[in-house]
């Protein structure tokens, strides 16, 4: 149990105890001047219910014991004037006990079921990740072993074999690097930067890929400086991944637009393509680790990009419709939450 959970549990207990004490005080104040009000007895169900909901079975039982202790004086003296009144109070204790036991049991059972489902989901995710990694590493490994065997047997061109082995090794290295980058926390070296400089570098880097595919890549940035605290290398990596995705989703002759704009509270970076777009199911899974629709992709690019942007206290959202294209909208806070310089 972490510190935050302990603090919340303590606050819940104090709140529940306060309610029980207030209800008991109401009993004394009202009963001292007026005839007994049965409805005040039913108010004790409030702390019992909250205890079961927030603290589970054990917390609910402990709260029931406390509430019963607070309620016990009403069995004596002027509070109980008849056998019928005593029976009423006794039934209240019995029924509230049954309620507490049932509510606490149901809440604990549901929590265990939810925890079990989360563990199963986590294990399934690990299994999927392992299967994806093994599959992605297997193909280049087969190439390396195949060409290594050909070199050993003296068959074919050694130069071509060495090149194929090197390409496959680089592919394996890229996969391993992606997995490591996804698994470990993003470490940033923040500096005061003009976001336009980073975006221009992204544009220059991706322009060659766009030209090779026959896609028109355009850049639209503001004339004035946009000052942001960022790690330029990490941000460049995230943006390149998304611009390349937009280029790959476009057909020859279509365009991709990279836009930076100054908002009131954030700098907005938008990457728009006019390709085939994504269906709702693909859009919902876009940031899911190891999910990819590209042949040879690890499915970690978008997840890593999202981690980088969120590490900068930025946000990213995707808007897409089939047949019309996709917009990636990134909001980045200005330096010191100001409006730039």
User: pLDDT at position 283, please?
Assistant: 82
> Exposed e or buried b for every residue in 97-111, given b needs 16+ CB within 10 A?
bebbeebbeebbeee
Angle between the N-to-C axes of helices 301-311 and 158-183, in degrees from 0 to 180, rounded to the nearest 10:
40
Domains of the chain with bracketed CATH: 1-184 (no CATH), 191-337 (3.30.565.10)
User: pLDDT at position 34, please?
Assistant: 57
User: pLDDT at position 214, please?
Assistant: 94
- Beta strand 227-230 pairing with 191-194: antiparallel
Q: Which helix (H) or strand (E) holds 29?
A: helix 3-33
User: pLDDT at position 315, please?
Assistant: 92
User: pLDDT at position 304, please?
Assistant: 84
User: pLDDT at position 330, please?
Assistant: 93
Residue 44 · residue 38 · CB < 8 Å? no
Q: Which helix (H) or strand (E) holds 100?
A: helix 83-153
Task: Report which of 195, 339, 191 is spatially closest to residue 266, judged by C-alpha positions.
Answer: 339
Quote the pTM value: 0.55
Residues of the chain with pLDDT under 50: 1-2, 4, 338-341
User: pLDDT at position 328, please?
Assistant: 93
Burial class (CB in 10 A: 0-12, 13-18, 19+), 325: buried
| pLDDT tens-digit readout, 100-114 | 999 989 999 888 888
């Amino acid at each position: 149990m972490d510190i935050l959970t302990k603090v919340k549990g303590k606050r819940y207990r104090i709140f529940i105890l306060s309610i029980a004490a207030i209800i008991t005080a109401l009993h004394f104040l009202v009963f001292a001047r007026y005839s007994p009000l049965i409805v005040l007895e039913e108010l004790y169900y409030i702390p019992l219910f909250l205890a079961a909901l927030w603290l589970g079975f054990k917390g609910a039982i402990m709260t029931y014991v406390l509430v019963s202790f607070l309620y016990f004086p009403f069995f004596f003296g002027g509070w109980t004037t008849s056998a019928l009144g005593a029976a009423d109070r006794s039934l209240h204790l019995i029924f509230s006990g049954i309620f507490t036991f049932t509510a606490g049991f149901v809440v604990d059972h549901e929590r265990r079921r939810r925890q079990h489902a989360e563990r199963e989901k986590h294990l399934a995710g690990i299994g999927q990740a392992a299967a994806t990694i093994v599959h992605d590493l297997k193909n280049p490994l087969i190439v390396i072993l195949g060409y290594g065997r050909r070199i050993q047997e003296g068959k074919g061109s050694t130069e071509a074999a060495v090149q194929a082995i090197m390409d496959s090794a680089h592919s394996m290295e890229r996969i391993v690097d992606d997995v490591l980058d996804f698994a470990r926390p993003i470490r940033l070296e923040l500096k005061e930067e003009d976001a336009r400089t980073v975006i221009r570098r992204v544009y220059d880097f991706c322009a060659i890929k766009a030209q090779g595919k026959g896609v028109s890549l355009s850049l639209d940035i503001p004339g004035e400086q946009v000052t942001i605290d960022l790690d330029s290398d990490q941000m460049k990596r995230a943006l390149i991944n998304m611009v390349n995705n937009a280029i790959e989703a476009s057909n020859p002759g279509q365009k991709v637009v990279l836009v930076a704009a100054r908002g009131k509270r954030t700098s907005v970076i938008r990457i728009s393509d006019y390709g085939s777009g994504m269906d709702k199911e693909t859009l919902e899974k876009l940031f899911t680790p190891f999910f990819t629709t590209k042949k040879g992709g690890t499915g970690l690019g978008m997840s890593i990009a999202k981690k980088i942007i969120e590490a900068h206290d930025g946000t990213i959202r995707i808007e897409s419709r089939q047949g019309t294209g996709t917009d990636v909208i990134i909001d980045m806070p200005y330096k010191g939450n100001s409006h730039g310089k």
